[in-house]
Structure 1
Amino acid sequence: MAEALVLAAFALSLAVGIAFGLSLLVPLACGLALFVGYGLHRGHRLGELLRVAARGPLSIGRVLVLFVVIGMLTASWRAAGTIPAVTCLSVRLVSPSTLPLASFVLCGLMSTMTGSSFAASATVGVVCMTIATAMRADVLIVGGAIISGSFLGDRCSPMSSTAMLVSTITHSSLRENLGRMLRISVVPVVACALIYAALGPAAGGAGMAPSFRGSFATSFDLSWYVLAPIALVLVLSLAKLSVLRTMLASLASALLLCVFAQHVPLGELPGILLFGFRTSNLAIGRMVNGGGVLSMTEIALIVAVASSYSGLFEETGLLRGIRAFVRRLAGRTTPFAGVLVTSVVTACIACDQVVSLMLTAQLCDEIEGDGSALALDLSSSAAIIPAVIPWTTSCVGLCAFVGMPTGSAAYAFLCMLIPLWTLVVSLWQRRHPGFALQRGGRVLGLDARDDARLIGHEVPAKLAEAS
């Protein structure tokens, strides 16, 4: 009974916080107090509870460092003219009949390069919606394409803080996870592209796409070499350089471009890296302003506070009853089905992608035999499902950035197809034992760790060796 009351109070604090527009840190702090209070009720000492809570933030130091670097990188790309140049190139590919497909592809490319759904939506997404409005196109369909493309990279880009968080909470390899995520996403991505291509003639309006080159050219040098920071990310990622080194190399090249191509005074660079880039050109400010270390402060604090829940849940046994239910559900269906249902519930209650990921990982950590298998499940469920729930911060924030109705979430097909496809694959595995070790399973990025028969058990040595 006490467990249900504590979780209900936490859900209520989240709902109140969202309703009143409070920072997510407020309900998360309330949750921390509730969980500590529950521990005291169960007879644990305060000092002991605080120690286990502190283990979470201390264990994700590397992720917090990456947040800082990402903040500097997104600001430097703006100041270096990289994002404006990509935006100008993107517009050339757009026509009325291809607008939904182009929006999906362009936002997908930008989110993959930046690792952020918000960065993609606030740059190319704004451009695509501006074009849609100018053409009098269906903004709901175009908006859905923007959401789909924006969450493509947010889920599986080497620059993605979401991918880093998934790897951290599952204690798995980021690089390995990214490869597996990409392979299992091929079918949903192709299907999504075909859907938007088919909807193009119906969604497209009339008129020509506006040109932004003139507006950008007054503030930036848009020569080909300003694309160097993005090219470095692509090349170094293929060369399997670490994510941190790749980002630092891209950051260094962007800073050189800031000074020598865009003629930014050296004294202004620290401010840009810390506070973000701001242009004096009001006509393009909405598309290029942003980034900076401070822009990552809230998400870093959210992750730090949410990560403290792990130790408290384990120490107090708060989620033991729910874990048992999830385990029974997974046993009757598949491990991914258990993760998927849990993801939908936590996303609806928590109203936030990060919290949904953290809670789902806590509740489902016993139904997969390996952290990498759980990471693949999370990336196909809790990482993207919040995008299609209209009251989550992911959906509301992204729609606010672009200036589109939240009803666009109904057309974010990729965020629905990936969970459904992964569910189909998991059910196929259930009916065909050993599929994960066969050629078809390997093409999809599966291996012995994803065997649907393994629920809460270690991967047998023979299977592990075969993988």
Structure 2
Amino acid sequence: MVELIILAVFCVALFASLLTGAPLLYALAFGLVLFAGYGVRCCGLRETLKMCWNGVKTARGILLLFVLLGLLTSMWRAAGTIPTVVSFAVELIRPEIFVLLTFVLNSAMSLLTGTALGTAATMGVICATIGRSMGMDGVSDSAWIGGAVLAGVYFGNRISPISSMALLTAGITKTDIYQNIRDMVRTTWLPFLMSCVVYFAAGMNVDVIAGVAGASGVVGASGVPNVVELFAKDFSLSLWSLMPAAVIVVLSVARVRTSLVLLWSSASAFVLALVIENQTFIDLLKSIIFGYKTTVPEIAKMVNGGGLLSTVNVFLIVVIAGCCGGIFKGTSLLQPVKSRIEKMSQNTNPFVATLACASLVSCVVCNQTLTIILTNQMTENLGAKNQALNLYDTAVTVIALVPWSVATVIVLNAVQAPNSAVLCACFLYLVPVCRVMVGLCGKKGGVNGDFF
């Protein structure tokens, strides 16, 4: 009973933070105090601190990626990589299919690289920048673009053979990653096609205005601004500027570790910024810490940002989430929830129970890795035909629909989208919804609907 009260109070604190606009860190810190108090009561102070440390250690790889992403996003700006890619891509863009194209491009990039965060920092930022350059900077437009990016980056994060989350899920369920991918294709094609239809329809209704570029009188055909003239005021737009993006693609295909991919791409961008863009060494160091800042006001909204300081808030969220996860694993705080999940499975099926469990856990732990691990721990004895597939279709993706989760905050911050963008991440909703619907149809037809 005490455990349920503690979890309920924490959930209230989270929702209060969302409703009042208070910093999420306050609610998470409050929750950590609650959970730590429970841990001290059950196991003592020393053991509780050990649990917190173990939890943070499990997230150390993610923390390193955040630092590297801050470095990457600033260097890609300083080297002119993002402006150059945007300048080429904007010529092919048509406003009426832009939302759909955003989803497809981010899906392809994440499938290729296996990283949601890396895709958000590159292709996601590029798409969001193009959208703003076309005047799609209203709340509704930003939500649709942000939702398309969010859905796209987690498409590949779920199904790519080089995704750390896909490999983690295969590891904890002791299954083969390539067999898991073949299984996932069966539960992916329909939600993907349905998402494309939704994004195409949404794009047809997006209100495109002159925007930043229009204010400068630089607008190309079909209402798409000619950003080349704007970016050329501060960047050389040389083909060499595409090298950091090429490094990402080549090293990802070669299955080089994600941290090294981001580091080498950032290093190549640093050199290009010095040689091609004539940036000074001191200015680049400032950009690494504080983020890149252009001297051209007209493009400030499109290129300013990045840097290590931009990752501080998310870094602290991950540390707190890691501490909480360590306490969850080391105490019986979640035991009452596990008992109820088992009863739900008996009344419905293992997939529905796993979906409910993943939804609850993701709201509390706010961390993708911990959500996958804890969901598996609480559902591995439910008797599912394919436990790995159930996790791929719930824990791996549901976390991105929680506005205060690390998985969501990073992506939406990178593309400067509002929290309402989670409502537009269609693919992430449709994957579990289609599974549930197939399960219901299978049950009516006398077939076990636990599997597609």
**Residues 1:404 and 1:358: Cα distance change in structure 2 (over 3 Å):** closer
Q: What is the aligned partner in structure 2 of residue 33 from structure 1? A: 33
Q: Name the CA shift for 1:265/1:334 in 2 (closer, same or farther; >3 Å).
A: farther
Contact 1:118 1:401 in 2 (8 A): yes
- Distance in 1 between residues matched to 2:68 and 2:278, nearest whole Å: 22
**Structure 1 residues 24 and 357 mapped into 2: Cα distance closer, same or farther (>3 Å)?**
farther
Question: 1:190-339 maps to which residues of 2 (within 5 A)?
Answer: 190-198=193-201, 200-201=203-204, 203=206, 208-339=223-354
Task: Say if 2:420 is the partner of 1:417.
Answer: no
The structural deviation recorded for 1:359 is 5.2
Q: 2:57 maps to which residue?
A: 58
Q: Contact 1:274–1:292 (CA<8 Å) still a contact in 2?
A: yes
8 A contact 2:291–2:309 mirrored in 1: yes
Indicate how the Cα distance of structure 1 residues 95 and 209 shifts in structure 2: closer, same or farther if over 3 A, else same. Answer: same
Structure 2 counterpart of 1:115, from 114, 118, 139: 118
The separation in 1 between residues aligned to 2:102 and 2:387, in whole angstroms, is: 34
Q: Is the 8 A contact 1:100 1:142 kept in 2?
A: no
| Equivalent-residue separation in structure 1 for 2:126 and 2:277 (angstroms) | 19
- 3-state SS of paired residue (1:279): coil
Give the CA deviation at 1:9. 1.6
Report what 2:212 is aligned to. none
Which letter does structure 1 place at the counterpart of 2:58? S
2:192 aligned with 1:189: yes
Structure scoring higher RCO (CA < 8 A, sep ≥ 6) equals: 2
Q: 1:74 & 1:274 partners in 2: Cα distance?
A: 11
Q: How far apart, in 1, do the equivalents of 2:139 and 2:11 lie?
A: 33
Deviations 1:16-67 (A, max 9, x none): 333443332222221121112223444x211122112211112332332222
Deviations 1:249-305 (A, max 9, x none): 212221121111111112322222222212122211111112222222222222122
* Structure-1 residue corresponding to 2:378: 366
Say if 2:123 is the partner of 1:125: no
Cα distance in 2, alignment partners of residues 118 and 231 from structure 1 = 15
Distance 1:406 1:18, change over 3 A: closer
Q: Give, in angstroms, the shift of residue 392 of structure 1.
A: 7.7
Q: 1:383 aligns with which of 375, 383, 399?
A: 399
2:100–2:148: 8 Å Cα contact kept in structure 1? no
User: Would you say the 8 A contact 2:317–2:406 is kept in 1?
Assistant: no
Shift in CA distance, 253/399, structure 1 to aligned 2, threshold 3 Å: closer
Aligned CA distance change for structure 1 residues 234 and 429 (closer, same or farther; 3 Å): farther
> Equivalent residues in 2 for 1:64-213 (5 A)?
64-106=63-105, 108=107, 115=118, 117=120, 123-131=126-134, 133=136, 140=140, 143-154=143-154, 156-157=156-157, 164=164, 176=177, 180=181, 183=185, 185-198=188-201, 200-201=203-204, 203=206, 208-213=223-228
Tell me if structure 2 keeps the 8 A contact 1:220–1:262. yes
- How many matched pairs? 423
CA pair 335-248 structure 1, distance change in 2 beyond 3 A? farther
Conserved? CA contact 1:279–1:285, under 8 Å: yes
CA distance in 1, matches of 2:41, 2:230: 62
Asked if the contact 1:98/1:200 (under 8 Å) is kept, the reply is yes
The letter of the residue matching 1:39 is G
Tell me the TM-score normalized by structure 1: 0.75
**Structure 1 residue 83: deviation in Å?**
1.0
Task: Indicate the percent of aligned positions where both proteins have the same amino acid.
Answer: 26
Relative to structure 1, the CA distance from residue 280 to residue 355 in structure 2 (aligned partners, 3 Å threshold; closer, same or farther) is same
Q: Distance in 2 between matches of 1:122 and 1:178?
A: 32
Q: What are the superposed Cα offsets for residues 175-230 of structure 1, whole Å, 9 maximum, x if unpaired?
A: 95998498454443333223333555455769521221111111111122211111
> CA 1:404–1:22 in 2, change beyond 3 Å: closer, same or farther?
closer
Gaps of 5+ in 2: 210-221
Deviation per CA, 1:328-364: give whole Å up to 9, x if none: 32354444322322344456x65xx935774574354
Q: Is the 8 A contact 2:354 2:391 kept in 1?
A: no
SS at the partner of 1:384? helix
Structure 1: distance between partners of 2:257 and 2:418: 38
The worse-fitting range, judged by mean Cα deviation, of 230-239 and 423-432 is 423-432
TM-score (norm 2): 0.77
| CA separation of 1:394 and 1:70: change in aligned 2, threshold 3 A | closer
> Given residue 271 of structure 1, which amino acid in structure 2 is its aligned partner?
K
Task: Name the CA distance, whole Å, in 2 between partners of 1:293 and 1:406.
Answer: 22
> How far is 1:77 from its partner?
0.9
Q: Alignment partner of 1:284: what SS?
A: helix
Residue 170 of structure 1 deviates from its aligned partner by 8.7
Q: Give RMSD over aligned pairs.
A: 4.1
Please tell me the residue identity of whatever aligns with 1:100. V
Residues of 2 paired with 1:168 and 1:67: CA distance? 19
The equivalences for 1:36-47 within 5 A come to 36-42=36-42, 44-47=43-46
> Quick check: 2:106–2:123 contact (8 Å CA) kept in 1?
yes
**Given the superposition, is the C-alpha separation of residues 409 and 129 from structure 1 closer, same or farther in structure 2, using an over 3 Å criterion?**
farther
